[in-house]
Structure formats: structure tokens, C-alpha cells
Amino acid sequence: MQFISGLELKLVYFLAVSAILFGIGLYGVLTRRHLVHILLSVELILNAVLINLVAFSAFVTPEKLTGQMFAVFLIVVAACEVGVGLAIILSVYRRRKTVDVDNINILKW
Amino acid sequence: MIISFILVISAIMVVAGRHILHSAFYLAATLLCVAMYFILLRAEYLAAVQILVYIGSIVVLILFALMMTRTKVGHRTNISNNQRIFAALVALALFVCLTLVFYNAKIDTVADNVSNLKIISIKEFANILFSGYTLPFEVASVLLLAALVGSVVLAMKEKTDEESSGDDPEKESAGIANVDAEKKESK
């Protein structure tokens, strides 16, 4: 890999990238109106955490691979969560005939 | 560096795009960039797994759900302005705090540069996964079973006078995501 050996990529760079992604995902969760959009932003947050974990695993404990194991199980959990979340969204759509978060406010006082 | 540009631009298009279908495809581009980061960090198996499971089943599942909730084709304005500004401020504050913490933390790293990273073969990965992490592995398969059953139950139509006993496309797509994750687990 000679073409990337000229760049100085320390650990902080990967952590900063993961923080950027987390911030963008958080902005998406807080400001979107469509339910599936919120789920997309939650997936973005999860991927930020994945980059963080794998960066730590590569730089701090390369032999024990702790971060990569955590990342594998996190991918499994994210798949389950998206499946169940989309089933919930489908049920909500069938009940209320809308996927606009502002219109789903029965419990709001 | 190029990867990070593409990543940030795709992520911004996910959260700021007008049409949700475009956002789903920008999410796929973001996940591809994350997989490229994994390859850069010497985690090739994780990159392949992520492309297979995340892009191959989760994004497809989201596209199925978009098809089923009958999202309208066309532009719509999303939210009122004051919530957008507060959310941007909160996200920016979180990013600044996180970056400050990461910059000032004294983490003793084994390698200083990304090109000096140690290459771990997949044989050692499999060793660690199946010897040290056997219990989480089994628990993950039970979790997949629970999620499969749960999403099928949640997405079923209620029994009305007609003989609708289930929602087949949603069951299928929930099954697709779980079968892919299980295939990866049993590899």
C-alpha cells in the first residue's frame, strides 16, 4: 500500500470522522419528519460507532481484536433493530395512515 | 482523505435530502465509505460483512418499507425553522466536545500511523470469535430468532372477515435481513 503511506493518519483522525458522522446522524434524528428518515439517521449513528470501535481495535489492541468483535455483534443487533423498527413503522402506517411524525401525536398533551 | 470527503457529503445528503429515496441511496454510499474505512484499518472481513449485511439487507429492507408506506414522489418541505437551528447547534456542540475529548486524551497506541498497523489474518479472527466470544455468538443467534418472530408478528395484518393471515412481503423482507445476518453468523 505505497500510495497511502505518505499520509499521516493518526488515531485521532478516525475518531474525529466518527464524531462528525455521529453529529450528522444526530441532526438527522432530531429534524426529520418521515419515520423511515429517522431510522436512516439512526443507522448513520450506528456506523459512526462502528468506525470508532474498529479504529480503537486497530490502533490500541491489534492482537485481541476486541473492537472488531464488538463491531460484528453490533452489525447483528443493528440488523435486528431495523427489522423490528420497520415492522413497527408498518403497523403505525396501517393504523394512522400517515408516516409524518408531527401527525402521530395521540399521546401528546 | 478522499474517502472522508465522500463520506461526509453522503451523510449530509442523507439527513438533508428532500426525497427519502435519495436519502436511502446516499445511506448506501455512506455505508460503502465506512467499509472502505474498515479496509484501511486492516479489518477486511468486517468490511465484507458490512457490505453484505448492511447494504445488502438493511438498505434493501428500508427500500421495501418505503415502497409499502407509499411515500409520495415529489418535493416536500420538512420541518419548521427553529427546530432545525437547535438541532444543528446540538449536533455541532456534540461534535466539538467529542473531538476535544479525543484530541486531549492520552491513548497509548501501538502504532502511530495507519500504514504501520498490524495485519491480523482471518484465522486469528475466527480463533478469537469462536473461542473467546462463543456465548455472545449463541446469544446473537437467539436474538436474530427473536427479532424475526417479533417483526413478523408486528407486521401481520389483523384478522378481518377476509382470509388475510399475514403480510407476505414484509415477512419476506424481514426474513431476508435475518437470513443474511444468520448466514454471516454461521460463517
Which one of A46-50, B108-112, B117-121, B181-185 scores highest in mean pLDDT?
Answer: A46-50
**pLDDT for the residue B143:** 94
Min Cα distance B163 → chain A (Å) is 17
For A94, other C-beta atoms within 10 Å of its C-beta total 14
**pLDDT for the residue B40:** 85
Q: How many helices (H) and strands (E) does chain A have?
A: 3, 0
More confident residue, B126 or B181: B126
pLDDT tens track for B54-82: 999 899 988 888 888 776 655 555 555 56
Cβ under 8 Å to B: A residues 12-71:
12, 14-17, 19-28, 30-37, 39-41, 43-44, 47, 50-51, 54-55, 57-65, 68-69, 71
Q: Is the pLDDT of residue A48 over 70?
A: yes
Q: Is the pLDDT of residue A25 over 80?
A: yes
Q: Contacts of residue B54 in chain A, CB cutoff 8 Å?
A: 43, 47, 75, 78-79
Mean pLDDT of all residues in B99-126:
76
CA dist., res. B113 & res. B134, Å (int):
32
Please provide the average confidence, as pLDDT, over all residues in chain B: 78
**Residue given cell 420538512 in the structure block:** B78
- Strand partners of residue A34: A100
pTM score above 0.90: no
Which is nearest to B151 in space by CA: B130, B126, B127, B179? B179
* Confidence at B157, pLDDT banded by 50, 70, 90: confident
**pLDDT for the residue B82:** 62
Min Cα distance B70 → chain A (Å) is 9
Q: Is the pLDDT of residue B141 over 80?
A: yes
For B115, other C-beta atoms within 10 Å of its C-beta total 15
Contact A60 B37 (CB under 8 A): no
Amino acid identity of residue A49, one-letter, is V
* Confidence at B187, pLDDT banded by 50, 70, 90: low
- Strand partners of residue A100: A34
% of residues, chain A, pLDDT over 90 = 36
Min Cα distance A47 → chain B (Å) is 7
**pLDDT for the residue A60:** 81
Mean pLDDT of all residues in B143-160:
84
3-state secondary structure of A100: strand
Q: Which residue of chain B is at minimal alpha-carbon distance from A45?
A: B11
* Burial class of residue A56, CB neighbours in 10 A (0-12, 13-18, 19+): buried
Nearest by CB: B136 against A4, A73, A99: A73
Kindly state the greatest CA–CA separation across chain B. Answer: 67
Which is nearest to A94 in space by CA: B154, B34, B53, B18? B154
**DSSP symbols for A52-76:** HHHHHHHHT-TTT-HHHHHHHHHHH
Angle between helices B20-40 and A35-59 (to 10 degrees): 10
Phi (first) and psi of residue A100, to 5 degrees: -95, 125
Amino acid identity of residue A108, one-letter, is K
Nearest by CB: B69 against A36, A69, A75: A36
Min Cα distance A95 → chain B (Å) is 11
Contact B20 A37 (CB under 8 A): yes
**pLDDT for the residue B13:** 83
Q: Contacts of residue B20 in chain A, CB cutoff 8 Å?
A: 34, 36-37, 40
**Residue given cell 468506525 in the structure block:** A51
Kindly state whether A100 is in contact with chain B, defined as any CB-CB distance less than 8 angstroms.
no
Angle between helices B60-68 and B20-40 (to 10 degrees): 170
Binning chain A into helix, strand and coil, the percentages to the nearest 5 are 75, 0, 20
More confident residue, B127 or B178: B127
Q: Is the pLDDT of residue A42 over 50?
A: yes
Q: Is the pLDDT of residue A101 over 90?
A: no
